[in-house]
RNA sequence: GUCCGGAUGGUGUAGUGGCCUAUCAUGAAAGCCUGUCGAGCUUUCGACCCGGGUUCGAAUCCCGGUCCGGGCGCCA
């Protein structure tokens, strides 16, 4: 049984005379003496409940008018087409039931009359999400996920899950969160990278995974989190160019789907979504460096990773999504395939939004001996990768893939200032609650 | 980690040594009002992050701490 017959957004003046049951939160009440209005809010919008004292009687009038804001109510009543009411209709109630009263004062103002700081909002996130513009972002995020899954299914890519609890710091470098696993030490996985590659060795051919990744880096910016959702793809018998086109197709598809299916939410957020056009521009690392040094006088040596200033400069110059390709092998992970004729650069790429990096990927090393060599070059011990290397000794298809940050995709799509706005309950250097 | 900025009613803020019994908005409580739609009007309630110092006097200046925001760094 569902305690409502309609969402407020589903009601139109054409339903005049119909009995409906709405359920939701008390957005606000306005008492004018002989007539009072209660505005009910649910996920699809607002509905005005009109109480005429003469019609409903003194007792009901008084009890409804004193329901505290944000209380949960169920309203049974009749739809009345009414030009004076918002959206041309109102509900004349026969029964208003308080299912759960809200305490006062509220930890923040869900009607958005008063601004609220991010920290306050996150402390009372459940109430923050009641705000229509916040809810809209998460509904759009869900639409993005739906569109990406549909896109992957159409491309015959198999959805998989890989372990989030792992035995070792598999890729070296980044800091992992240690956890206790019975009598053993374990870690929260930083990336499904090694597992999705092993699935290429398993003959799964084309896989994708959407799941959490964990990084214990002490970064403190508006675009980093310690727990994030990663969208990972790995494709056998494909090269870097092929997976780049799958990646740009995925991004375009997400934008297109949201533009076509989320007009209500985009309206709530005041956004006019421009769908990017594929193919995205391709720029090599070396070209990017030249562009940056010529125009901005940035002091970067070939072989340095791009700093934030350079990244931002490139974003401003280019002004749309673009790929950075042919990176120095020295700054990409060991599993990135170097060019055969020019091993100092590799088939790694980053997908960039003008504001930040969205994804990175590569054609992978599939040759066992080269992989061992690359691991050693990075100063890592191949012994620690035996579970992974084993999959490369018995026939490993050539393969390529990428990982895309969901929150960054949503954040850039919706022009959100802070990545925390794109995560329901963000985990950062300081925040573990709620 | 580091640099810069900040912390005032539930929320968002004004206030740079005495004019602060602390401003405004929102909110809450009570009342008036039959068409509100950020309703209006009247009355009331509610705050200077913690510790130390300077001073006749500190929300305001200084020191330490805690927390928050922004930049950078870190980021397979």
Residue recorded with tokens 């727990």: A227
Backbone angles phi, psi at A31, to 5 degrees: -110, 120
Nucleotide showing the shortest C1' distance to residue A171 CA = B76
* Known active-site residue A154: no
Angle, alpha carbons A68-A69-A70 (nearest 5°): 115
Q: How many helices (H) and strands (E) does chain A have?
A: 13, 16
Looking at residue A74, what is its pLDDT? 96
- Give dist(CA A52, CA A299) in Å, integer: 72
How far is it, in rounded angstroms, from Cα A112 to Cα A69?
13
The residue annotated as part of the active site, out of A82, A139, A287, A357, is: A357
Angle between helices A240-261 and A132-154 (to 10 degrees): 140
pLDDT at A135: 95
Nearest residue: Cα versus C1' of B9:
A105
Task: State the Cα angle at A390 between A388 and A394, rounded to 5°.
Answer: 130
Distances (CA, A) of A161 to A15, A212, A371, A389: 46, 10, 24, 20
**For position A380, what pLDDT does the model report?**
87
CB of A34 within 7 Å of some strand B atom: yes
A357 is catalytic: yes
Q: Is the peptide bond before A414 cis (omega within 30 degrees of 0)?
A: no
Q: What is the CA A35 to C1' B49 distance in angstroms?
A: 45
**Which positions of chain B lie under 7 Å from any protein Cβ?**
1-2, 10-13, 25-30, 32-40, 67-76
ipTM: 0.89
- Which nt has its C1' nearest the CA of A68? B28
- The residues that bridge with A402 in the sheet, in sequence order, are A233, A361
pTM: 0.94
CB A391 within 8 A of CB A87: no
Strand B contacted by A48 CB (< 7 A): yes
A28 touches strand B (CB under 7 A): yes
User: Does the N-terminal peptide bond of residue A191 adopt cis geometry, omega within 30 degrees of 0?
Assistant: no
Residue pair A410/A144 in contact by the 8 Å Cβ criterion: yes
Kindly name the residue from A6, A130, A215, A420 that is annotated as catalytic. A215
DSSP annotation string for A255-288: HHHHHHH-HHHHHHHT--PPPP-SSPEEEEHHHH
Nearest DNA or RNA nucleotide to A308 (CA to C1'): B72
Predicted pLDDT at A140: 97
**Site of tokens 């470098």:** A173
The residue ranges of chain A whose pLDDT is under 50 are none
Q: Output the pLDDT for position A297.
A: 60
* Cα A305 to Cα A327: distance, rounded to the nearest angstrom: 9
**Is the CB atom of residue A4 positioned under 7 angstroms from any atom of strand B?**
no
What is the phi/psi pair of residue A10, to 5°? Answer: -85, -10
pLDDT of residue A169: 62
**Can you tell me which residue has the tokens 């992970």?**
A333
Rounded to whole angstroms, the distance from the CA of residue A112 to the C1' of nucleotide B22 is 26
Alpha-helical regions (H) of A27-110? 53-56, 58-65
Q: Where are the alpha helices (DSSP H) in A237-367?
A: 240-261, 263-269, 285-296, 308-318
């Amino acid at each position: 049984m569902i305690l409502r017959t309609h969402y407020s957004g589903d009601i139109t003046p054409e339903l005049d005379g119909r009995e409906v049951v709405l359920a939701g939160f008390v957005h606000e009440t306005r008492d004018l003496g002989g007539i009072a209005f209660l505005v009910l809010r649910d996920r699809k919008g607002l509905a005005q409940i009109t109480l005429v004292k003469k019609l409903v009687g003194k007792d009901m009038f008084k009890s409804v008018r004193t329901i505290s804001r944000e209380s949960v109510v169920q309203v049974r009543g009749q739809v009345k087409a009414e030009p004076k009411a918002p959206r041309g209709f109102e509900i004349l109630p026969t029964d208003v039931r308080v299912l759960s009263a809200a305490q006062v004062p509220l930890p923040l103002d869900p009607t958005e009359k008063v601004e609220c700081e991010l920290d306050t909002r996150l402390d009372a996130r459940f109430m923050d999400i009641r705000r229509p513009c916040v809810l809209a972002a998460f509904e759009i995020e869900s639409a993005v996920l739906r569109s990406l899954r549909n896109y992957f299914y159409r491309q015959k890519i198999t959805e998989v899950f890989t372990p989030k609890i792992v035995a070792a710091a598999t890729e070296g470098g980044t800091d992992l969160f240690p956890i206790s696993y019975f009598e053993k030490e374990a870690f929260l996985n930083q990336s499904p990278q090694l597992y999705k590659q092993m699935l290429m060795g398993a003959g799964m051919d084309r896989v994708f995974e959407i799941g959490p990744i964990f990084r214990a880096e002490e970064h403190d910016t508006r675009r980093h989190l310690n727990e994030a959702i990663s969208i990972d793809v790995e494709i056998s018998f494909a090269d870097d160019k092929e997976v780049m086109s799958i990646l740009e197709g995925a991004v375009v598809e997400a934008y297109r789907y949201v533009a076509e299916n989320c007009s209500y939410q985009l309206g709530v957020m005041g956004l006019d979504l421009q769908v990017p056009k594929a193919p995205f521009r391709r720029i090599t690392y070396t070209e990017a460096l030249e562009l940056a040094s010529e125009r901005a006088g940035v002091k970067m040596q070939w072989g340095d990773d791009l700093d934030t200033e350079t990244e931002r400069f490139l974003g401003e110059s280019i002004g749309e999504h673009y790929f950075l390709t042919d990176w120095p092998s020295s700054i990409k992970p060991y599993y990135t395939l170097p060019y055969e004729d020019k091993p100092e650069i590799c088939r790694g790429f980053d997908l960039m939004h003008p504001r930040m990096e969205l994804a990175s990927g590569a054609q992978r090393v599939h040759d066992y001996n080269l992989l061992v060599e690359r691991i050693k070059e990075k100063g890592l011990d191949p012994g620690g990768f035996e579970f992974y290397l084993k999959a490369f000794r018995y026939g490993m298809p050539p393969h390529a893939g990428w990982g895309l940050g969901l929150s960054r995709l949503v954040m850039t799509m919706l022009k959100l200032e802070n990545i925390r706005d794109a995560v329901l309950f963000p985990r950062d250097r300081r925040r573990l609650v709620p």
